[in-house]
Amino acid sequence: DFILSTKGLRIEPSITLEITAKAKAMKDSGIDVVSFGAGEPDFNTPENIQNEGIRAIKEGLTRYTPASGIVELKNAICEKFKEDNNLDYKPSNIIISSGAKHSIHNALLAILNPGDEVIFGTPYWVSYPDLVKLADGVPVYIETKEENDFKFNVEDLNRVLTDKTKAIILNSPSNPTGSIYTEEELRAIADWAVKNKVFIISDEIYEKLIYDNNKHISIASLNEDIKNLTIVINGMSKSHAMTGWRIGYAAAHEKIVKIMSNIQSHATSNPCSISQYASVEGLKGDQASVEEMKRHFVERRDYMAETINSIKGLSCRKPEGAFYIMINFTQLLGKTIKGKEINSSMDFANLLLDEAKVAVVPGVAFGDDKYIRLSYATSMDNIKEGLRRIKEIVEE
């Protein structure tokens, strides 16, 4: 009989795992499953970036780097912040980590004391609650609504404010909803955060995947006061199809970055040296491939939103960014399809997998049981076939 970590035992396994494991087992046994589960671009890393990785290996740039990252990449990140977000940072404000998830983990470890509360909206990105718990914090949820484009506002924040409130996690564009906060909405949240001395962790990992005439604004760029309270999170995974390379980064006040760097120096040391050199090319090299991937995402999103809204019993809002669509299936609640009653997002996801051979992520994984999430980081052929199967079973 072991006595194990109480904190460790409180960390939940990913709910999405159950259904993705089932989908994989079905595929392995030869069943033709269409998967909408992917949380990563279906494109290969652009060739110019691949080549820089190869060059780094050949030139022996394969040793430890400074724990917080190489200065070449920090400089490239500072240039990116200036150019894209009108934010002035120095290399001392930057820490590079093994993915944006790692950056968020470091950020929470650097600012939280036991019992501190961290606010974010539901539906949320799966890892936020457990990352907060790992850092001894307490997640505080604001339930957002589809009719408000899944966004929260200052009134919502006032309702959950306590003397333990320490930070807000903002995710714009959002996974899973694709929603984007406007400048005006961000200004109101920024003023509230400054007034109440609350940190903002601004997860901007989907910044480059933004469609139509929508604009990405970093909350840190609004004024000096909010900049001092904000830890901006970004990374290479989604924008440059580099999920496996594991490079994310954070920009914040030097005092915060110093703590994050000290923590990282003991926990993991530097992020992969090869990936760091390749990322310099990712940020400074030709961005044509980023634009090309975006064109595919827009086309797929348009097709999906239109098709889903034409299926009786289902609806969705057209997301402004990222590569996910939330399907509202509340009209099907209580109904029985193929002898199975639908009472939850897990029921609906299981039905689609078992009977239509389509894998989706149940909304319960994001704290909202009224939806399922479909990723459009998959080919148009898959999308067409997958939606055809969904339509067939739902309209039965």
List contacts with ligand PLP (CB under 6 A).
39, 99-101, 125, 171, 175, 203, 205, 235, 237, 243, 248
Q: Is the Cβ of residue 157 or residue 322 nearer to ligand PLP in the bound state?
A: 322
DSSP string, 266-326: HHT-S--HHHHHHHHHHHHS--HHHHHHHHHHHHHHHHHHHHHHTSTT-B----SBTTEEE
State in angstroms the smallest separation of the CB of 93 from ligand PLP. 19
Q: Is the Cβ of residue 100 or residue 356 nearer to ligand PLP in the bound state?
A: 100
Residues in Cβ contact with 59 at an 8 Å cutoff, skipping those fewer than 6 apart: none
Euclidean distance between CA atoms 57 and 301, whole angstroms: 38
Is 133 strand, coil or helix? helix
Pairing of strands 138-143, 230-235: unpaired
In whole angstroms, how far apart are CA 122 and each of 119, 126, 369?
10, 10, 10
Euclidean distance between CA atoms 134 and 382, whole angstroms: 37
State in angstroms the smallest separation of the CB of 1 from ligand PLP. 36
State in angstroms the smallest separation of the CB of 368 from ligand PLP. 15
Q: Is the Cβ of residue 249 or residue 329 nearer to ligand PLP in the bound state?
A: 249
Q: Is the Cβ of residue 100 or residue 332 nearer to ligand PLP in the bound state?
A: 100
DSSP string, 64-123: ---TT--HHHHHHHHHHHHHHH-----GGGEEEESSHHHHHHHHHHHH--TT-EEEEEES
Residue 391 neighbours by CB distance under 10 Å: 18
State in angstroms the smallest separation of the CB of 372 from ligand PLP. 17
Euclidean distance between CA atoms 243 and 238, whole angstroms: 7
DSSP 343: -
State in angstroms the smallest separation of the CB of 303 from ligand PLP. 22
Is 56 strand, coil or helix? helix
Q: Is the Cβ of residue 125 or residue 329 nearer to ligand PLP in the bound state?
A: 125
* Residue 382: alpha-carbon gap to chain centroid: 23
State in angstroms the smallest separation of the CB of 141 from ligand PLP. 16
Q: Is the Cβ of residue 98 or residue 345 nearer to ligand PLP in the bound state?
A: 98
Residue nearest to ligand PLP (CB): 99
Q: Is the Cβ of residue 178 or residue 390 nearer to ligand PLP in the bound state?
A: 178
State in angstroms the smallest separation of the CB of 52 from ligand PLP. 18
Q: Is the Cβ of residue 246 or residue 391 nearer to ligand PLP in the bound state?
A: 246
Q: Is the Cβ of residue 42 or residue 385 nearer to ligand PLP in the bound state?
A: 42
Q: Is the Cβ of residue 245 or residue 390 nearer to ligand PLP in the bound state?
A: 245
Contact 252, 87 (CB under 8 A): no
Is 373 strand, coil or helix? strand
Q: Is the Cβ of residue 250 or residue 337 nearer to ligand PLP in the bound state?
A: 250
State in angstroms the smallest separation of the CB of 325 from ligand PLP. 14
Euclidean distance between CA atoms 218 and 182, whole angstroms: 10
Euclidean distance between CA atoms 119 and 281, whole angstroms: 35
Residue 365 neighbours by CB distance under 10 Å: 24
State in angstroms the smallest separation of the CB of 237 from ligand PLP. 3
State in angstroms the smallest separation of the CB of 274 from ligand PLP. 16
Contact 235, 205 (CB under 8 A): yes
State in angstroms the smallest separation of the CB of 252 from ligand PLP. 16
Instruction: Return the residue matching tokens 């990222």.
Output: 322
